[in-house]
């Protein structure tokens, strides 16, 4: 018998609102970012401490694990992106190209590329392993709040305060299509697992699903009572999780085109949500500074279905419809007061940092604060997958990492030399031009 979603655990450690959360694909960690300028990595294994990553100088707006789980990317209002190794060392590389707050960051499905977007109205593409800026996509006329890769790696979708959703072709680096039909800011965008449609979370309290093959609206939900901040597709593609400033999480049944569940737990706006890669769990974060871990309890029939390629026609819901759905007729309401085992002791926190490649204003030593050991807290994840096997010996890995660091220094040095060479060439050209002018002035006198 199918059960309702249940709150399994919650974490406290942020000192301001949570802005984003994401599961490590190995299902051993969940990361969260906050307005307190930190990133928290919560470990599910008993007696393991949580990591607080220090380094950003302003609010961290987004955080994302790489597909392998070996890297963690973050975007901040300090105009930088950081690429972290999610371990106690807290090593990170800083990417700088944006000229305003960075709102979102996302990995491509192969882990080779990174996309970011910013209040500078641009979307930028990066090479992860070479740590290089690759391209900039310009076209929005206001802040760009969200940008994501399609699962098939062909497209990037970006949403902006200019109320437009743009689709960018990665091969041509051109804008393929723009959806202008939104009436509010686009807070988040997410591709369906089969890359045939995209969903947007909007400030006008709506959720829209767009068909990318026909470039038209596929579904429209108005179940929330306030701005929708984040959304996430279930791996089956049949369910959509949304987080709203109305203090609720909602799960939409895309196959039936209706509200499936309304979840109450956070005190205040819910600002982050994400399904786990296996679809068995989802996480949420809010302005109450808490990160909550929920178990979906979906039936095997629901989770084992292949992703749908077609959905019902757009379904518009009025406010009255929304109230009816959440009353228990169609969509069930889940209150956290009805769930159990959600008040475990909080894990101790270790502060880690700073950057792997030191900047002039970066601390020179890791800031590690060892706190008391956590209580013996049983793990809620009974079915975990092992970490990817390490085929490279640790000593060789350290050597390679050092080499990468040296190559980065060399790359920066070459870049500076190129700039100086260009300046020298310009000066030389200016001298030659002046000499030619002087020669022309002398000749008439002769």
The reported pLDDT for the residue numbered 382 is 28
Per-residue pLDDT of 236-250, as tens digits, reads: 999 999 999 999 999
89, pLDDT greater than 90: no
Is the alpha carbon torsion for 350, 356, 359, 364 positive or negative?
Answer: positive
The reported pLDDT for the residue numbered 329 is 38
Per mean pLDDT, which range of 13-27, 46-60, 423-437 is the poorest? 423-437
pLDDT tier for residue 399 given thresholds of 50, 70 and 90: confident
From CA 420, how far away is CA 414, in angstroms rounded? Answer: 10
> Average per-residue pLDDT in the chain?
81
431, pLDDT greater than 70: yes
Per-residue pLDDT of 119-130, as tens digits, reads: 999 999 999 998
**pLDDT higher at 382 or 103:** 103
The reported pLDDT for the residue numbered 168 is 97
Per-residue pLDDT of 314-341, as tens digits, reads: 444 433 333 333 333 356 676 543 333 3
218, pLDDT greater than 60: yes
pLDDT tier for residue 440 given thresholds of 50, 70 and 90: confident
Per-residue pLDDT of 136-185, as tens digits, reads: 999 999 999 999 999 999 999 999 999 999 999 999 999 999 999 999 99
The reported pLDDT for the residue numbered 49 is 87
Per mean pLDDT, which range of 174-178, 222-226, 392-396 is the poorest? 392-396
pLDDT tier for residue 415 given thresholds of 50, 70 and 90: low
Per mean pLDDT, which range of 164-168, 210-214, 216-220, 349-353 is the poorest? 349-353
Report the percentage of the chain scoring pLDDT > 90.
60
The reported pLDDT for the residue numbered 314 is 43
Q: Read off φ and ψ for residue 8, nearest 5 degrees.
A: -95, -35
342, pLDDT greater than 60: no
The reported pLDDT for the residue numbered 170 is 94
**pLDDT higher at 411 or 181:** 181
The reported pLDDT for the residue numbered 251 is 96
What is the arithmetic mean of pLDDT over 25-39? 95
pLDDT tier for residue 375 given thresholds of 50, 70 and 90: very low
The reported pLDDT for the residue numbered 355 is 43
Q: What is the pTM of this model?
A: 0.73
């Amino acid at each position: 018998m199918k059960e309702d979603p249940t709150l399994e655990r919650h974490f406290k450690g942020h000192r301001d609102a949570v802005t984003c959360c994401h599961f490590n694909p190995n299902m051993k960690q969940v990361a969260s970012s906050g307005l307190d300028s930190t990133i928290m990595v919560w470990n599910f294994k008993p007696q393991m401490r949580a990591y607080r990553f220090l380094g950003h100088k302003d609010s961290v707006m987004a955080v994302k694990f790489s597909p392998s789980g070996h890297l963690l990317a973050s975007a901040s209002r300090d105009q930088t992106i950081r690429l972290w190794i999610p371990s106690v060392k807290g090593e990170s590389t800083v990417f700088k190209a944006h000229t305003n707050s960075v709102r979102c960051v996302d990995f491509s499905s192969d882990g080779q590329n990174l996309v970011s977007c910013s209040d500078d109205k641009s979307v930028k593409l990066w090479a992860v392993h070479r740590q290089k800026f690759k391209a900039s996509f310009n076209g929005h006329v206001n802040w760009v709040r969200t940008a994501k890769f399609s699962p098939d790696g062909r497209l990037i979708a970006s949403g902006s305060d200019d109320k437009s959703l743009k689709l960018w072709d990665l091969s041509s680096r051109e804008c393929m299509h723009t959806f202008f039909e939104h009436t509010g800011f686009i807070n988040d965008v997410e591709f369906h697992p089969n890359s045939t449609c995209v969903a947007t979370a909007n400030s006008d309290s709506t959720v829209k699903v767009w068909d990318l093959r026909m470039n038209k609206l596929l579904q429209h939900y108005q179940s929330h009572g306030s701005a929708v901040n984040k959304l996430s597709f279930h791996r089956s593609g049949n369910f959509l999780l949304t987080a709203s400033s109305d203090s609720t999480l909602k799960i939409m049944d895309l196959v039936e085109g209706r509200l499936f569940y309304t979840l109450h737990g956070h005190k205040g706006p819910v600002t982050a949500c994400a399904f786990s890669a296996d679809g068995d769990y989802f996480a949420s974060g809010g302005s109450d500074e808490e990160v909550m871990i929920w178990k979906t309890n979906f039936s095997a029939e629901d989770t084992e279905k292949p992703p749908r390629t077609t959905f019902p026609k757009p379904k518009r819901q009025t406010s009255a419809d929304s109230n009816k759905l959440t009353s228990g007729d169609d969509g069930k309401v889940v209150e956290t007061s009805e769930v159990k085992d959600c008040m475990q002791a909080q894990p101790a926190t270790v502060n880690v940092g700073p950057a792997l490649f030191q900047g002039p204003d970066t601390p020179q030593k890791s800031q590690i604060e060892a706190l008391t050991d956590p209580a013996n807290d049983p793990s809620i994840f009974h079915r975990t997958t092992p970490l990817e096997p390490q085929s490279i010996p640790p000593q060789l890995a350290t050597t390679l990492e050092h080499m990468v660091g040296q190559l980065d220094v060399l790359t920066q040095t070459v870049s500076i030399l190129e700039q100086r060479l260009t300046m020298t060439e310009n000066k030389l050209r200016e001298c030659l031009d002046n000499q030619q002018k002087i020669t022309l002035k002398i000749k008439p006198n002769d």
